[in-house]
């Protein structure tokens, strides 16, 4: 190891590596997105296709589906790295693990959170959400999904060493998603009724800042525990 990476380089390197891996496994990473669309499709089938009803519950449906899709994709943050041992390499690195964790979580969000931004308007339209609510929908997804990835990373880090981590993961993570769910869906609700949504957006931003600053440390601690 003659050339030592600076922290920034290490961050970029890890981010690029994860994105590249995702690109190679496109099918696997498309699954959560497909799942998101499928879950939302089930609701009109179950509840009847009344336009007023669907428009009323669209924000909630979209956000619950986003939560579930995030849950489904979380495992991929650390699973393959844990299985092939590269996670231990990362933990042995000279750089602060929290920063490297942040790189991995960013990659995860770019691959699983960002695509929701593209399909969400389509689904919102199908559910008959009013046009004035759609910018808010996109905004909440933009701010909210990184929080899901960040909090979820803690849960995955805690359960990655377990054989049946999946079920327990949802028990750990979903309760922590409650605030995001509440503020995001109520922002969209308010926007649909033509009210001001800045309060909710600021709250979501506050959650985002809080989770960006705290969650990588917890994740790093949990990873060290899981790998030991």
Partner 1 sequence: MFLWFHKLGSPPHFYRIAGKWIPWLTWIFLILVAAGLYGGLILAPPDYQQGESYRIIFVHVPSAWMSMFIYVTMAFCAVVIIVWRMKLAEVVLISSAPIGASFTFLALVTGSLWGKPMWGTYWVWDARLTSELILLFLYLGVIGLHNAIEDKRVAARAVAILALVGVVNIPIIHYSVEWWHSLHQGASLTKFDKPSMPPSMYIPILIMALAFQFYYALTLFHKCRVELLQRERNSKWVKEL
Q: How far is it, in rounded angstroms, from Cα 51 to Cα 54?
A: 5
Any contact of residue 159 with partner 1 (CB under 8 A)?
yes
Among 55, 68, 119, 214, binds partner 1 (CB under 8 A): 214
Give, as ranges, the residues between 99 and 158 that touch partner 1 (CB under 8 A).
Answer: 154, 158
Both structure tokens of 49: 């296709």
Which region among 9-17, 33-41, 115-123, 170-178 touches partner 1 (by CB under 8 A)? 170-178
Return the residue of 1, 3, 45, 175 that touches partner 1, per CB under 8 A.
175
Candidates 45-53, 86-94, 127-135, 206-214; binding stretch for partner 1 (CB under 8 A): 206-214
4 DSSP 8-state letter: P
Q: Which residues of 129-160 are buried (b: 16+ CB within 10 A; e: fewer)?
A: beeebbebbbbbbbbbbbbbbbbbbbbbbbbb
DSSP helix/strand/coil, 196: coil
The answer to the question of residue 10 lying near partner 1 (CB under 8 A) is no
CB of 116 to partner 1, least distance (A): 21
N- to C-terminal Cα separation, the chain? 25
Contacts with partner 1 by CB under 8 A lie at 154, 158-159, 161-162, 164-165, 168, 171-172, 174-176, 178-179, 182-183, 186, 203, 207, 210, 214, 218, 221-222, 225-226, 228
């Amino acid at each position: 190891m003659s050339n030592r990476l600076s922290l920034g380089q290490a961050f970029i390197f890890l981010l690029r590596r994860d994105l590249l891996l995702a690109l190679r496994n496109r099918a696997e990473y498309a699954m959560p997105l497909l799942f998101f669309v499928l879950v939302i499709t089930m609701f009109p089938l179950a509840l009847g296709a009344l336009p007023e009803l669907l428009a009323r519950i669209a924000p909630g449906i979209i956000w619950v589906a986003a939560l579930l899709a995030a849950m489904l994709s979380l495992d991929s943050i650390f699973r393959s790295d844990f299985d092939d041992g590269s996670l231990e390499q990362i933990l042995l690195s000279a750089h602060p693990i929290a920063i490297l964790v942040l790189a991995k979580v960013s990659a995860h969000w770019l691959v699983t959170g960002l695509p929701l931004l593209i399909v969400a308007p389509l689904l919102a339209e199908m559910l008959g959400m009013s046009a004035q609510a759609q910018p808010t929908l996109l905004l909440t997804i933009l701010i909210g999904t990184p929080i899901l990835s960040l909090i979820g990373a803690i849960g995955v880090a805690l359960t990655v060493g377990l054989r049946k981590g999946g079920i327990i993961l949802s028990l750990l993570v979903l309760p922590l998603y409650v605030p995001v769910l509440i503020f995001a869906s109520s922002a969209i609700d308010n926007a649909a009724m033509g009210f001001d949504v800045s309060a909710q957006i600021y709250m979501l931003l506050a959650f985002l800042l809080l989770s960006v600053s705290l969650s990588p440390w917890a994740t790093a601690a949990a990873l060290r525990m899981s790998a030991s």
